[in-house]
Amino acid sequence: MKVLGISFSYRHGNSQALVEHILKGAKDAGAETELVRFCDLEVKNCKGCGFCKSPGKDTCSIKDDMADLYKKVNDADAVVFGMPVYFGRMNAPAYTFIDRLYAMLNPDFSPRLSGGKKTAVAVTCGTGPAEDMEKIGAYISAIGGFFGWESKGLIYERNLLEKDAIQKCPDKLKEAEKLGKSLTE
């Protein structure tokens, strides 16, 4: 069982720490885990060129680090997404990743990625409402619907403005580990 974590936190901060603890829970339960720090990769935005939907093509025209990430997502049994709230929604790198998933859909919108994956989402924010993070969780679940992914849970925490503020929330980190374990069941 392979569990892939993708962190969209530029500063490798609170949301990434939640992803790391989800991965820890999965690893302790016997899974093979890997963390990808998306903001360390070079991934350009989808430009809507249509190459991925043209006859005989099955991937993106853009040659960058996304090629390797498509492979990692395809090979994973479960994928964990972690991102901060920026201005009431997920931050820009998370949108870049989602837009680039378009190349993993056939012209009839059936998936080009292997099915049956489980997903979990970890979101952190400052003083904004929990509702913003619930919306992000629901949005990722909806995107997963295109690929037949099964959403196993959303974990979030508020009032985390400082980079490592989540370290003062041991209960939340434990909850993340529990969520990680659930991905292996």
Ligand X SMILES: Cc1cc2nc3c(=O)[nH]c(=O)nc-3n(C[C@H](O)[C@H](O)[C@H](O)COP(=O)(O)O)c2cc1C
87 lines the binding site for ligand X (CB under 6 A): yes
Interface region with ligand X, contact rule CB under 6 A, candidates 37-45, 54-62, 93-101, 124-132: 124-132
Interaction between residue 85 and ligand X (CB under 6 A) = yes
Q: Is 5 in the site for ligand X (CB under 6 A)?
A: no
Query: Which of 6, 52, 125, 136 forms a contact with ligand X (CB under 6 A)?
Result: 125
Among 47, 145, 161, 167, the residue binding ligand X under the rule CB under 6 A is 161
Among 153, 158, 142, which Cα is nearest to 26's? 153
Which 3-state string (H, E, C) describes 35-84?
EEEHHHCCCCCCCCCCHHHCCCCCCCCCCCCHHHHHHHHHHCCEEEEEEE
Of the two residues 79 and 122, which places its CB atom closer to ligand X in the complex?
Answer: 122
Q: Can residue 15 be called a binding residue for ligand X (CB under 6 A)?
A: yes
Q: At what angle do helices 170-182 and 14-28 cross, to 10 degrees?
A: 50
Scan for tokens 């603890």, then name that residue: 21
Tracing tokens 């790198």 back to the chain, one arrives at 93
The angle formed by the CA atoms of residues 149, 155 and 160, to the nearest 5 degrees, is: 140
Identify the CA nearest to 19 among candidates 147, 146, 124: 124
Instruction: Restricting to residues 25-64, name those near ligand X by CB under 6 A.
Output: none
Note whether 173 and 21 are within 8 A (CB).
yes
The nearer residue to ligand X, 5 or 84, going by C-beta atoms, is 84
Of 3, 5, 6, 9, the one binding ligand X (CB under 6 A) is 9
Cβ closer to ligand X: 58 or 134?
134
Q: Does 153 bind ligand X (CB under 6 A)?
A: no
Q: Is 126 in the site for ligand X (CB under 6 A)?
A: yes
Quote the DSSP letter at residue 103. Answer: G
> Among residues 124, 152, 153, 179, which is the contact residue for ligand X, using CB under 6 A?
124
Q: For binding to ligand X (CB under 6 A), which residues are involved? A: 9, 11, 13-16, 84-88, 124-128, 160-161, 163
